[in-house]
Chains A and B, each alone.
Chain A
Amino acid sequence: MAPQDRLSAPARAAPLLEVEDLTVSYGRNEVVRKASFALGRGGSLALIGESGSGKSTIARAVLRLLPAGARATGRVTLDGANALALSERRFRPLRGRTIGFVPQDPGHALNPVRTIGAQALEAAALLDVRDRAAGKALVLETFAEVGLDNPGRVFGSYPHQLSGGMLQRVLIGLAVLPRPALLVADEPTSALDVTIQKRILDLLSRLQRERDIGLLLITHDLAIAAERTQSLVLLKDGQVQEAGSAKAVFFSPTSAYARKLHADVPALNPDRYGALRDPGLGRLAQAAGEASKIEVRGVTKTFHVDGKALTAVDAVSFSVPAGTTHALVGESGSGKTTTIRLLLGLEQPDTGDITVAGERLAGRGPDALRGVWRHLQLIYQNPYTSLDPTWKIEQLVREPLDRFGIGSREERAARVREALASVGLGEHLLARGPATLSGGQRQRVAIARALVLRPDVIVLDEPTSALDVSVQAGIMEVLLTLQAKLGLTYVFVSHDLALVRQLAHTVSVMHRGRIVEHGRVADILDNPRQPYTRALRASMPAGISGTARGVPRRVPILAEQSLP
């Protein structure tokens, strides 16, 4: 028999991974339909699509990690072997050694009650290591290679003791340690901060190059895909929409879907909402003399943890004129969240003064704060956890009205419908629960819930970081339309500079509790003076490198590139 012999001659030319007519179904429901693509040895390919497009399902089918009840048909050839047809016993030797896996959420990808070292030794055991000591040496060497500062400490740590970025480095290390020919990375950076994202992607690219690994990258971000891989496969509703070299798909997309994906990436289209946003710049100029809607002056907040003083917010000042958007930008731990908690009166500042719509917030009791909250609403980061799953949409949106005892029954019902309509949701959703809605719809419900009180100011705490790029674009459009129509004032918290560029008028860049740079968005982002702001800007994925790096160009990138 010796099937290897038969394959050995053409194996050089044959691709490392070949997927032909792959169909994955749950019962009658086909989530992937006849997907085909091929990835050469040492090459890189990205599967791009929104949630539910089937991109992760394809990755899991290739890895043979589909949940029970899923059925994969078609043909997946992995390093000459028919991966779908092999028995689990025959496929197991390929796991780790031929095909490695880097998962999406590093926080849940390691066993929480075992040390990282114990789990790393499982990966080392796939190579023929002599004993535990040799395995450990190999693990420590790999940890150092993936940029972990103190490999020995990481080895003895439990997962919850490390940050998300460090855990993802660990997982990448464990995946490449047994020297696989193919690495499947399923949205490896979507759970991480922007600056960490770039470093993790850089690490993946470096390892891929140095170790000659084939990389199958799953992402929803066209810019990341184009920047990091040679060929792109665009998926929608389980079907391939467009496939080709990264250059071709990025610069001259043929399908409508590819063009839409391109338009939805904030970094590639800084002025997409210019018509809605720019009137705010006029208000900014007008407001120079008047009192601002929000005034934050010299606010400091120190927390005491384990006897150590931690200054989360340090002498922060900014002001937001009515009808404009102010962005607070920074990484996790930069003090953004504490700043908005102070702004909402959920924490009291140690020193400094906060004024919203002419009313001082500091020193107010809970009752006095209630009055402020009518004018000041918050939209949370994660619409999957911020809406009570046992309530109906109608109840969720009406609740603030009930709380403040506003209007009669009929008036409340009318205001709920009005609020839903203004975020583009139909009345047929009123009796549904949040669980039946998509992430984008949920965030619209959260916006409607904030709008129903007709506030002046809305604080947006990373309102789209849990959503896909294309869904994010819809939410951005809703927010800007509402601002143009109702003259709302926004405080927009984000770590995504590209989004800030699209939405905000003024920006404060926060780093370790201080504002390091502030001013008009165009001034700060086009000519950042501080190294920290420059580092943040450099971490924005911008598609194919060297072309779209200088983000805030007035000329749309597509037009510019199609000239030669």
Chain B
Amino acid sequence: MRNAYLTYAARRIAQAVAVVLLAYVFTFVVVSILPGDPVSTILHDPQNGFTDEEIREIIAAQGLDQPIAVQLWTALSHFVTGNLGLSMRSGRPVATLLAEVLPSTLILASAGFAVALLLAAVIAYGTQFLPARFGQGLLRGFPSLFLSVPNFVIGLVLIHAFGFQLGLFRVIEPNSFWATLFAALALGIPISAQIAEVLIANLDHEARQEYAAVARSRGLGQVGLFVKHLLKPSSLPVVTVIALTIGELLGGSLITETVFGRTGVGSLVQRSVTTQDLPVLQTVVSLAAVVFVGVNLLADLVYPLLDPRVTLVGSGRSRQAGAEDPATQTTEAVTA
């Protein structure tokens, strides 16, 4: 059993590394076949005043006259060794640019994630204990409501109501506690809906199972049944769902940053897209792939430890569905 798990873990980790590298290659290739060449645009800019001779020299020095396969190999080996290159616009290291904006985005994303988990738990567990006459049906309706409203709309409503009307936070100080909290709410609400829906469906499913009836026949009350029997089996599939929502968290935080006027990875991406700053874009996309694949890897590694029924059959297949095809999900997350 222990041996089977190690084999399984090794396979999963190798797959994850492969997916990240593929994502890097994919972005690189897509960017190089896109029309428009930002390098020559900058170099030919009359303001810079390079002669044709100088331009040729610079291109040769940067290795940009090499075949694309060689360029890819150089870039990939730099990426793997942690050398992220220089920004084309500012000439500063991409690593430095990223370090400036990453903390703000991380705070927002983790706060949003916490909000999502908390809300999902409150809604899902509420449906189990709130009697029908006290609005259980209303509570069950929340997830579909949350899902159908885009998070920038939620953000705008929150800014209007709590920023302008109630004056809880000042819109020009986007990094204050209250502003961050509401940004996290705007980010977390749609994500909480997905988790809550899965949790509610699982709880209802488990409560209908024969073992729940048998447990009740042993004298367990509603709370005992919930805590001892329903909580764990209904939460297990949520591990996979949470891993999948991380992509949404990444995409959502970029939008939320724009709506709340926060400086973060979102604004960095926005700037680099408009100026075609390829090294920065390449890094951000690859970073998103690393985060997404990493979280899914974690979910895959943890799941067999939580669910005793999962058997790791020889080659490392787990019984769990979902998170099976990280490659497609990564590209989805990046384009979101």
| Contact across chains for B309 and A158 when beta carbons are under 8 A apart | yes
Instruction: Report how far A174 CA is from B209 CA in the complex, Å.
Output: 18
Question: Cβ of A13 < 8 Å from any Cβ of B?
Answer: no
Contact of B213 among A65, A92, A97, A160 (CB under 8 A): A65
| Contact across chains for A108 and B217 when beta carbons are under 8 A apart | no
Give 1 or 0 for each of B172-213: 1 = CB within 8 Å of chain A CB.
000000000000000000000000000000000000111101
CB nearest neighbor in B for A94: B219
| Contact across chains for B219 and A111 when beta carbons are under 8 A apart | no
Stretch at the interface among A112-120, A326-334, A398-406, A458-466: A112-120
Chain A contacts of B209 at CB under 8 A?
Answer: 108
Question: Cβ of B308 < 8 Å from any Cβ of A?
Answer: yes
Stretch at the interface among A79-87, A99-107, A217-225: A99-107
User: Taking the nearest CB of chain A, how far is it from the CB of B4, in angstroms?
Assistant: 10
Instruction: Report how far A110 CA is from B208 CA in the complex, Å.
Output: 13
Question: Cβ of A247 < 8 Å from any Cβ of B?
Answer: no
Stretch at the interface among B229-237, B255-263, B277-285: B229-237
| Contact across chains for B221 and A114 when beta carbons are under 8 A apart | no
Q: With A158-B308, A158-B309 as given contacts, are A111 and B218 in contact (CB-CB < 8 Å)?
A: no
| Contact across chains for A113 and B307 when beta carbons are under 8 A apart | yes
| Contact across chains for A95 and B216 when beta carbons are under 8 A apart | yes
User: Taking the nearest CB of chain B, how far is it from the CB of A152, in angstroms?
Assistant: 18
Question: Cβ of B214 < 8 Å from any Cβ of A?
Answer: yes
CB nearest neighbor in B for A107: B210
User: Taking the nearest CB of chain B, how far is it from the CB of A161, in angstroms?
Assistant: 8
| Contact across chains for B213 and A114 when beta carbons are under 8 A apart | no
| Contact across chains for A112 and B218 when beta carbons are under 8 A apart | no
Q: With A112-B309, A171-B214 as given contacts, are A97 and B233 in contact (CB-CB < 8 Å)?
A: no
Give 1 or 0 for each of B123-162: 1 = CB within 8 Å of chain A CB.
0000000000000000000000000000000000000000
| Contact across chains for A92 and B210 when beta carbons are under 8 A apart | no
Chain B contacts of A99 at CB under 8 A?
Answer: 217
| Contact across chains for A96 and B218 when beta carbons are under 8 A apart | yes
| Contact across chains for B217 and A97 when beta carbons are under 8 A apart | no
Give residues of chain A (105-163) contacting chain B, Cβ–Cβ below 8 Å. Answer: 105, 108-114, 118-119, 122-123, 126, 158, 160
Contact of B309 among A95, A100, A108, A113 (CB under 8 A): A113
Instruction: Report how far A111 CA is from B234 CA in the complex, Å.
Output: 11
Give residues of chain A (173-204) contacting chain B, Cβ–Cβ below 8 Å. Answer: 174-175, 178
Instruction: Report how far A347 CA is from B215 CA in the complex, Å.
Output: 42
Contact of A95 among B211, B217, B236 (CB under 8 A): B217
User: Taking the nearest CB of chain B, how far is it from the CB of A539, in angstroms?
Assistant: 26
- The total of interchain contacts (Cβ-Cβ below 8 angstroms) comes to 74
Give 1 or 0 for each of A338-376: 1 = CB within 8 Å of chain B CB.
000000000000000000000000000000000000000
CB nearest neighbor in A for B217: A101
Chain B contacts of A426 at CB under 8 A?
Answer: none
Instruction: Report how far A109 CA is from B211 CA in the complex, Å.
Output: 4
| Contact across chains for A105 and B219 when beta carbons are under 8 A apart | no
| Contact across chains for A109 and B216 when beta carbons are under 8 A apart | no
Question: Cβ of A282 < 8 Å from any Cβ of B?
Answer: no
Question: Cβ of B56 < 8 Å from any Cβ of A?
Answer: no
Question: Cβ of B9 < 8 Å from any Cβ of A?
Answer: no
- Say which size band chain B's interface belongs to: 20 to 34
Most chain B CB atoms below 10 A, which of A111, A118, A126, A171: A111
Q: With A96-B217, A126-B218 as given contacts, are A113 and B210 in contact (CB-CB < 8 Å)?
A: no
Question: Cβ of A544 < 8 Å from any Cβ of B?
Answer: no
Chain B contacts of A519 at CB under 8 A?
Answer: none
Chain B contacts of A119 at CB under 8 A?
Answer: 215
Q: With A122-B228, A158-B308, A158-B309 as given contacts, are A111 and B233 in contact (CB-CB < 8 Å)?
A: yes
Give residues of chain B (95-148) contacting chain A, Cβ–Cβ below 8 Å. Answer: none
| Contact across chains for B218 and A110 when beta carbons are under 8 A apart | no
Contact of B216 among A65, A123, A171, A175 (CB under 8 A): A65
Instruction: Report how far A92 CA is from B220 CA in the complex, Å.
Output: 8
Chain A contacts of B232 at CB under 8 A?
Answer: 113-114
User: Taking the nearest CB of chain B, how far is it from the CB of A59, in angstroms?
Assistant: 11
Chain B contacts of A274 at CB under 8 A?
Answer: none
| Contact across chains for A113 and B218 when beta carbons are under 8 A apart | no
| Contact across chains for B217 and A110 when beta carbons are under 8 A apart | no
Task: Give the A interface residue count (CB, 8 A).
Answer: 33
Chain A contacts of B221 at CB under 8 A?
Answer: 92
Instruction: Report how far A460 CA is from B31 CA in the complex, Å.
Output: 62
Contact of B219 among A95, A118, A160 (CB under 8 A): A95
Instruction: Report how far A154 CA is from B307 CA in the complex, Å.
Output: 18
Instruction: Report how far A110 CA is from B233 CA in the complex, Å.
Output: 12
Give residues of chain B (300-323) contacting chain A, Cβ–Cβ below 8 Å. Answer: 307-309
Most chain A CB atoms below 10 A, which of B210, B229, B236, B307: B210
Instruction: Report how far A160 CA is from B311 CA in the complex, Å.
Output: 11
User: Taking the nearest CB of chain A, how far is it from the CB of B116, in angstroms?
Assistant: 24
Chain B contacts of A32 at CB under 8 A?
Answer: none
Instruction: Report how far A113 CA is from B236 CA in the complex, Å.
Output: 10
User: Taking the nearest CB of chain B, how far is it from the CB of A340, in angstroms?
Assistant: 25
Instruction: Report how far A60 CA is from B208 CA in the complex, Å.
Output: 14
User: Taking the nearest CB of chain B, how far is it from the CB of A97, in angstroms?
Assistant: 7
CB nearest neighbor in B for A65: B213
Contact of A114 among B208, B217, B224, B229 (CB under 8 A): B229
Question: Cβ of A63 < 8 Å from any Cβ of B?
Answer: yes
Instruction: Report how far A99 CA is from B217 CA in the complex, Å.
Output: 8
Instruction: Report how far A301 CA is from B229 CA in the complex, Å.
Output: 42
Give 1 or 0 for each of B74-101: 1 = CB within 8 Å of chain A CB.
0000000000000000000000000000
Instruction: Report how far A117 CA is from B224 CA in the complex, Å.
Output: 16
Most chain A CB atoms below 10 A, which of B213, B217, B232, B309: B217
Instruction: Report how far A63 CA is from B308 CA in the complex, Å.
Output: 31
Instruction: Report how far A317 CA is from B236 CA in the complex, Å.
Output: 48
| Contact across chains for A113 and B233 when beta carbons are under 8 A apart | yes
| Contact across chains for B308 and A96 when beta carbons are under 8 A apart | no
Most chain B CB atoms below 10 A, which of A93, A100, A114, A171: A114
| Contact across chains for B219 and A97 when beta carbons are under 8 A apart | yes
| Contact across chains for B210 and A108 when beta carbons are under 8 A apart | yes
| Contact across chains for B218 and A122 when beta carbons are under 8 A apart | yes
Give residues of chain B (29-47) contacting chain A, Cβ–Cβ below 8 Å. Answer: none
Instruction: Report how far A171 CA is from B217 CA in the complex, Å.
Output: 11
| Contact across chains for A96 and B233 when beta carbons are under 8 A apart | no
Chain A contacts of B216 at CB under 8 A?
Answer: 65, 95
Chain A contacts of B220 at CB under 8 A?
Answer: 122
| Contact across chains for B218 and A109 when beta carbons are under 8 A apart | no
Contact of A126 among B219, B307, B309 (CB under 8 A): B219
| Contact across chains for B307 and A110 when beta carbons are under 8 A apart | no
Q: With A112-B309, A160-B309 as given contacts, are A95 and B214 in contact (CB-CB < 8 Å)?
A: no
Chain B contacts of A63 at CB under 8 A?
Answer: 217
CB nearest neighbor in B for A120: B218
| Contact across chains for A110 and B211 when beta carbons are under 8 A apart | yes
Chain A contacts of B309 at CB under 8 A?
Answer: 112-113, 158, 160
Chain B contacts of A111 at CB under 8 A?
Answer: 211, 215, 228-229, 233
Most chain A CB atoms below 10 A, which of B213, B221, B236: B213
Known A-B contacts: A103-B213, A105-B210, A111-B215. Give 12 more (CB < 8 A).
A67-B208, A96-B218, A101-B214, A103-B210, A103-B214, A108-B211, A113-B236, A113-B307, A114-B228, A122-B218, A158-B308, A178-B218
Between A and B, 8 residue pairs with Cβ closer than 8 Å are: A65-B216, A95-B218, A100-B217, A108-B210, A112-B308, A114-B228, A126-B218, A175-B217
CB within 8 Å of A: which residues of B? Answer: 208-211, 213-221, 224, 228-229, 232-233, 236, 307-309
